[in-house]
A and B are shown apart, each in its own frame.
Chain A
Amino acid sequence: MSQFFQQFPTVFAALNVGFFQTLKLFFCTLLGALPLGLIISFGSMSKFKPLSAVTRVFVWIVRGTPLMIQLLIIFFFPGLVWGNPIWGGGESGRFAAATVAFIINYACYFSEIYRGGIQSIPVGQHEASQVLGLTKSQTFFRVVLLQVIKRIVPPMSNEIITLVKDTSLARIIALQEIIWAGQSFMKGSHGIAGQIWPLFFTGVYYLLFSGILTLLFNKLEKKLSYFKV
C-alpha cells in the first residue's frame, strides 16, 4: 500500500501528460471534422450527380473500414509508397498523422448525421421561406439551421462521446496518449514496472471526460427544448 502512495504522484503526472495529448487530439478532430462534415454533406446532397456519387462512395469507404487501418495507412503510406515521409519523425509527426486520420473519419460520420438532419426538415419550411421572399442563404441560416441543430444533437452527442474513446486508437502509431502512458508502467517507465493499476486509472479519466460531455449535451438539449420540430 505504501508503495502505491509512493508511485501515485509519478503516475498521476505521467497520465496527465498523456491525457493532455488525448484532449488535444479530441479537440483538433472536432475543430476539423465539424465543418468538414458539413462540406461533405453538401457534396453528398449535391444535385450534380458525379459529385454526390463520388462523395457518397468516399463516405461509404471511410465508414465501412476500421479507423485503425486508416490510421496506419495515413501514417505509413507516404513514407513507404511515395518514399516521402511527410509526417516527419517524432511525436509531432505522429500527432499530425493521427489528427488527419481522425478528422477524415469523423467528418464522414458527421456528414451523414448532418445530411439526415437537413433532409428531415419539412419542405414546407423552405416553401414558406420562399413565398416570404427569403433568399436561399437566409432560409438556411435563419430558418433551417437551428431546427437541424436541434434534431442532430442526440446523434452528434453519441458520436462525440465515441470519439473520446476512439482517441485511444492513436496508440497504434505510438502516439503518446493516455493509454500509452498508462501501459508504460507495466514496462518500467519512470522506474515503475509491473504495475497494471495505472491502466485501470486511465479509465477514470475517460469516465470523467465522457460524463462531463454528457452533462453538457443534456444542457444543450434542454436549451433547445423550447420549440418542437
Chain B
Amino acid sequence: MAILEVSNIHKSFGKTEVLKGISFSLEKGNVLSIIGSSGSGKTTLLRCINFLETADVGRITVDGDVIFDSDTQAKLSAKEKRDKQLKIGLVFQQFNLFPQYNVLDNVTLAPRLRAKELPDYKKNKKQIIAEIEEKAKALLAKMGLSDKLENYPCELSGGQQQRVSIARAMALEPKILFFDEPTSALDPELTGEILKVIRELAEEHMTMVIVTHEMSFAKDVSDHIVFMDQGVIAEEGRADEVFDNPQSERLKAFLNNINT
C-alpha cells in the first residue's frame, strides 16, 4: 500500500485556480520528484500538503491515516492538526533556520517542546532531553556537521545551513520528507553537497518528495517523476521513462527548453 496518497487537490487564490485536481501516490522508501516550469503550482502543492496553505478540495493520506480532508478539516483542533502535520517534514528553499539558536538547538528545539507533552516528561526529563540531544548529534554527524554544533546559523555557509535544516526536519522522524527546491538558494558549487546528502538519504530508503529544477539529479535519484503544467499533472512515470521517452508535447517542450 502507498505511504502517501494525494487525491484531487484543488487550490485557488482569488479567481485563479492554481491546482486543478492533483492526484498521485508514493510507495514507502521511494523518491518522487516534481518537475515543471515556473508557476505551474509545485510550491503551492507542497504547501497544501504541509498545511501552509489549506486546499479547497482534496484528501491526503499518510500511512493509512487521513491527514487532510477538505470536508472535515475545519472541525479539527489545533492540536489534532499539529499531530497530523508531524507525520511529514518540509525542507525550505530558504532554510529558515532560527538565527538565535545554535546548530544543535535548532535541531532539538521542536523535539524538546514536543517531549513536554509526554505524560512521563516531568519524571524522566533528564533522560528524555539526553536522548533527544544524542539523536540530534547523530543526525548532524550524518550531515557532516559534528564540528559545528555550537555555531550559529550566521556563521555557516548556505550549504551547511541547508544541511542543518534537513537534520532539523528529520529530528521529528517524519514518515515522508518534502523538499522545495533545496538547492535553489545556493551557489552552484554548494549545490553538490546537498544533492549528495539527499542521495544518501535515498539510499537509506527515506521516503522523499522533491521539487527541483536539477533535471539530471531528479533522473538519477528518483523512482518516480511527476511533471506539472498549469496546475495539472501533465505526465508522470518512472524516472528513466519520463526523461528518455516523454509522451506529451508539453513535457517534450519543457525538457527541450531545459537542455538548451
In the complex the two chains form, what is the Cα distance from A136 to B77 in whole Å?
13
User: Which of the listed residues A127, A146, A147 has the most CB atoms from chain B within 10 Å of its own CB?
Assistant: A127
Whether a CB of chain B sits under 8 angstroms from the CB of A156 is no
Q: Are A133 and B172 in contact (CB under 8 A)?
A: yes
Q: Are B85 and A138 in contact (CB under 8 A)?
A: no
Q: Are B98 and A135 in contact (CB under 8 A)?
A: no
Q: Are B100 and A133 in contact (CB under 8 A)?
A: no
Q: Write the A114-150 contact mask toward B (1 if CB under 8 angstroms, else 0).
A: 0000000010110110111111101000110011001
Closest to B47 in A: A127
In the complex the two chains form, what is the Cα distance from A128 to B172 in whole Å?
13
Q: Which residues of A contact B85 (CB under 8 A)?
A: 130-131, 133
Whether a CB of chain A sits under 8 angstroms from the CB of B130 is no
Within the complex, the shortest CB–CB distance from B105 to chain A, in Å, comes to 10
In the complex the two chains form, what is the Cα distance from A229 to B154 in whole Å?
9
Within the complex, the shortest CB–CB distance from A82 to chain B, in Å, comes to 46
Q: Are B99 and A147 in contact (CB under 8 A)?
A: yes
Q: Are A130 and B51 in contact (CB under 8 A)?
A: yes
Q: Which residues of A contact B86 (CB under 8 A)?
A: 133
With A130-B85, A227-B152 known as contacts, the answer to whether A146 contacts B100 (CB < 8 A) is yes
Q: Which residues of B contact A226 (CB under 8 A)?
A: 152
With A132-B168, A133-B172, A135-B82 known as contacts, the answer to whether A227 contacts B153 (CB < 8 A) is yes
Closest to B86 in A: A133
In the complex the two chains form, what is the Cα distance from A24 to B176 in whole Å?
58
Whether a CB of chain B sits under 8 angstroms from the CB of A222 is no
Closest to A128 in B: B96
In the complex the two chains form, what is the Cα distance from A124 to B91 in whole Å?
11
> B154 touches which one: A138, A146, A227 (CB < 8 A)?
A227
Whether a CB of chain A sits under 8 angstroms from the CB of B227 is no
User: Which of the listed residues A134, A146, A227, A228 has the most CB atoms from chain B within 10 Å of its own CB?
Assistant: A227
Q: Which residues of B contact A122 (CB under 8 A)?
A: 96
Q: Which residues of B contact A147 (CB under 8 A)?
A: 99-100
Q: Are A138 and B152 in contact (CB under 8 A)?
A: no
Q: Are B109 and A142 in contact (CB under 8 A)?
A: yes
Closest to B84 in A: A133
Q: Are B94 and A124 in contact (CB under 8 A)?
A: yes
Q: Are B113 and A125 in contact (CB under 8 A)?
A: no
Tell me the A35-80 residues at the B interface (CB within 8 Å).
none
Q: Which residues of B contact A136 (CB under 8 A)?
A: 78
Within the complex, the shortest CB–CB distance from B108 to chain A, in Å, comes to 11
Q: Which residues of B contact A229 (CB under 8 A)?
A: 99-100
Q: Which residues of A contact B68 (CB under 8 A)?
A: none
In the complex the two chains form, what is the Cα distance from A228 to B78 in whole Å?
31
Tell me the B102-139 residues at the A interface (CB within 8 Å).
109-110, 113-114
Q: Write the B154-186 contact mask toward A (1 if CB under 8 angstroms, else 0).
A: 100000000001001100100000000000000
In the complex the two chains form, what is the Cα distance from A143 to B97 in whole Å?
10
Whether a CB of chain A sits under 8 angstroms from the CB of B52 is yes
Tell me the B59-97 residues at the A interface (CB within 8 Å).
78, 82-83, 85-86, 89-90, 92, 94, 96-97
Closest to A125 in B: B96
Within the complex, the shortest CB–CB distance from B4 to chain A, in Å, comes to 16
Q: Are B52 and A227 in contact (CB under 8 A)?
A: no
In the complex the two chains form, what is the Cα distance from A150 to B152 in whole Å?
15
Binding site for A on B (CB under 8 A): 50-52, 78, 82-83, 85-86, 89-90, 92, 94, 96-100, 109-110, 113-114, 152-154, 165, 168-169, 172
* 12 contacts across the A-B interface (CB closer than 8 A): A127-B92, A128-B165, A131-B50, A131-B89, A132-B172, A133-B82, A133-B113, A134-B109, A134-B110, A134-B113, A226-B152, A227-B154
